[in-house]
Chains A and B, each alone.
Chain A
Amino acid sequence: MLNINDLIKDFGKLRIINSVGFEVKDDEIVSLVGPNGAGKTTLVNLISGHILPTSGKIEFLGHDMTFASPYRRIKRGIARNFQITNLFGDSTVLDNLRICLFSTYGKIKNGIIPASHYRTITEEAIDILGIFGISDKKDLFPPGLSEGDKKILDTAMAFALKSKFLLLDEPTSGVATGDKFKVMDTIIAAIKKEKMACMIIEHDMDIVSDYSDRVLVLSEGEIIASGKPKEIMEQDNVKEILFGVKA
């Protein structure tokens, strides 16, 4: 589905992403782990088109997406959430989701019919909020939500784009520890149901090993390991980088 080859991103003289290459297959859930500053979010930004790479190639479903606009990537089926929540603060939770659905269904060109007339879209928005367990908060404004709920809403908005490939940048950071698995269960179930492929950035190793088919370890801009969660955790270099354990 997603093919990345020899991807390089420089910020000035600093090489943040150094010759990264990997592949994500259909329906696969891949975790991207690595210490702070490894370049995980930069990689998400490169794949989603938020920033453009210095060189390399990003291919999605056979289309070259290396320098494509975010709009084109979204239309092809790449969606993302944000690690630091990025919501529409002046609109209600429901409207936050509805605008995503309007965009998904190509309705935002309509400038005459009132948004409230799209009943099915409103119902679908409420359904999605229900899937993520925040439908009771639909009339609140994002600044009034807890950090955890903001995070969930952010993910729900990415989910509402009905993409084929979902990039989730730390979907559970800020969520109360006791709720993390519940939130992940919800997200993963929704992704599996829609047969989406997914790349998750996560710090919590329990979550990584429970939910992902494969793990990529990123360190200082390079992928140093890739494989099944259990096998990866046993590798000495991974232990050293992630847990600071000297072999």
Chain B
Amino acid sequence: MLRPKFFVYLGIFILLLFMPKLLPVYQLMLFESGITFAIMGLGFNLLLRYTGLLSFGHGALFATGAYAVGMMGKYFPDLYRIEILIPVALLASLVVSAIFGFICVRHTRIFFSILALALSMVLYALLVKFYDITGGSDGIHIDLPIMFGKSFEGMKRFEFLSGAYYYFLICMFAVCTIFMLAIVNSPFGKALQSIRDNEIRAEMIGIRVRRYRLYSFILSGLFTGMGGALWSFVNGHVTPESAEWIFSGEIVYMTLLGGFMVFEGPIVGAILFTYLKLYAVSITQYWMLIIGATLILLVLLLPEGIAGGFVKLFSRTKKVDDTGTAYVKYK
């Protein structure tokens, strides 16, 4: 039962393993940053594409994962091992997303989005104001962790990132992708999609709508926190800016860039965005203008995003429903 898609995924994974040979170190670090955003994008899209909820506060969940690593380094340096740090980051994201989710899923549409935004700004304010604990706006420096008993003390960050950590990151990315694929194709995933399509009917076939939205929010938060934790090692420093609304907006942007209607969309979007932003910054100090302009072009010319446009290109007019209109069937 292996589909062609499986081999495409496998091919991409093998290609990813050779990336450190193909890309210069600096490009590779950017790419790694993109991969961590991609993991976050998967989580974000579970809410947007599969549950029908647009969160403008996911930056806070990303920051939770990153700060969990930072705080562990600051307060429990003995436990600064990656196999402990990742579970701790996930636990922290679980707690924060459960609190956020509990409040947010009481509403849908714009009300949900605004609530998520407001809560994320609360976390942002806490991170800035509790200077003694969080380091305030200076943030926290992230040291290189001990990975499975191997210490990287004295090693330069770029060496760490182009070596062992890269392979660890790629494996985590593969695990997250497979896990998310399983979730969206499972009966649970179908239940979420039925809630998105028609919450009244979903309730009337015995799905506890609010509870399932909460589950979806928490799962989304776990992926996002995972992305944040993995990103913190790449970046080497966490600041409250990752919890700010601007970054939350960038998450939405990445997903739209890749195309939220396609499972792989946020992955493509996250990696492209990382490069797009960096090149925009290097060309002009008005880089936001470039980002903004691309967003406008994107919405006007390619509302399905890049991955979505790609899928559409290959499936156009293939499917025609019996009312005679062509539509694209997304996987």
Give A residues with C-beta under 8 Å from B.
Answer: 48, 50, 69-71, 74-75, 79-80, 82, 86-91, 95, 98-100, 102-104, 107-116, 118, 140-141, 143-144, 157, 161
Structural contact, A80 and B191, CB atoms closer than 8 A: no
Residues of B within 8 A of A95 (CB): 190
- DSSP class of B's interface residues: helix, strand, loop or mixed? helix
Residues of B within 8 A of A (CB): 182-183, 185-191, 193-194, 196-198, 200-208, 212, 219, 321-323, 327
Give 7 CB contacts A-B under 8 Å. Answer: A86-B200, A89-B197, A99-B191, A111-B182, A111-B186, A112-B183, A114-B186
In the complex, given contacts A48-B204, A88-B202, what are 10 additional A-B residue pairs having Cβ atoms less than 8 angstroms apart? A71-B203, A74-B204, A86-B200, A91-B193, A99-B205, A100-B205, A102-B190, A115-B187, A140-B321, A140-B322
Query: CA–CA, A109 to B206, complex, Å?
Result: 12
Q: Check A91 against B187 for contact (C-beta < 8 Å).
A: no
Which residues of B have CB within 8 Å of A70? Answer: 203-204, 206
Q: Are the C-beta atoms of A91 and B197 separated by less than 8 Å? A: yes
Give the chain A neighbours of B189 by CB distance below 8 A: 111, 115
- With A110-B187, A114-B182 in contact, is A71–B198 under 8 Å at CB? no
- What residues of B have a CB within 8 angstroms of the CB of A102 in the complex? 187, 190-191
Inside 8 A of B204's CB, which chain A residues have their CB? 48, 50, 70, 74, 79-80, 82, 86
In the assembled complex, the Cα of A110 lies from the Cα of B212 at a distance in Å of 12
Residues of A within 8 A of B198 (CB): 86-89
| Shortest beta-carbon distance from B201 to chain A in Å | 4
Of chain A, the residue at the smallest CB distance from B198 is A88
B188 touches A157 (CB 8 A): no
Whether B187 and A74, one on each chain, are in contact in the complex, defined by CB atoms closer than 8 angstroms, is no
B206 touches A71 (CB 8 A): yes
- Nearest opposing residue in chain B for A157, CB measure: B205
From B188, B196, B206, B322, A110 is in contact (CB under 8 Å) with B188
User: Bound state CA distance, A98 and B190, in angstroms?
Assistant: 9
Tell which of B187, B208, B327 touches A107, judged by Cβ atoms closer than 8 Å: B187
- Chain A nearest CB from B195 CB (Å) reads 9
For A143, give its contact among B194, B196, B200, B321 (CB under 8 Å): B321
Knowing A91-B194, A157-B205, the reply to whether A50 touches B321 (Cβ < 8 A) is no
* Alpha-carbon distance A75/B212, docked complex (angstroms): 17
Across the interface, B188 reaches (CB within 8 A) one of A71, A80, A109, A141, namely A109
List chain A residues, Cβ under 8 A from B207: 71, 103, 108
Instruction: Say whether B201 contacts A82, CB under 8 Å.
Output: yes
Whether B203 lies near A88 (C-beta < 8 A) is: no
Distance in angstroms between the alpha carbons of A141 and B327 in the assembled complex: 11
| Alpha-carbon gap, A116 to B113, bound state (A) | 33
Chain A nearest CB: distance from B124 CB in Å? 31
Whole-angstrom CA separation of A141 from B321 in the bound complex: 8
A115-B205 contact given A50-B200, A103-B191, CB 8 Å threshold: no
Q: Of A79, A86, A99, which one neighbours B190 at CB under 8 angstroms?
A: A99
Q: What B residues does A71 contact at CB under 8 A? A: 203, 206-208
Q: Within the assembled complex, what's the spacing in Å between the Cα atoms of A103 and B204?
A: 10
